[in-house]
Amino acid sequence: MELLNKTESIVTEVTYTLQDKTSVFYYKEWLNDSGKVIDCLMRDKDGYEIDDSLLFEEVQEFIDSQE
pLDDT tens-digit readout, 25-67: 999 999 998 999 999 999 999 999 999 999 999 999 999 999 7
- Provide the CB-side half-sphere exposure for 58 (13 A, CA): 8
DSSP 15-34: EEEEE-SS-EEEEEEEE-TT
Please provide the average confidence, as pLDDT, over all residues in the chain. Answer: 94
Strand order in the sheet with 12-19: 12-19, 24-31, 37-44
pLDDT for the residue 9:
84
Has residue 8 got a pLDDT over 90? no
| Whole-structure pTM value | 0.82
Helix (H, G, I), strand (E, B) or coil at 60: helix
Percentage of the chain surpassing pLDDT 70?
Answer: 100
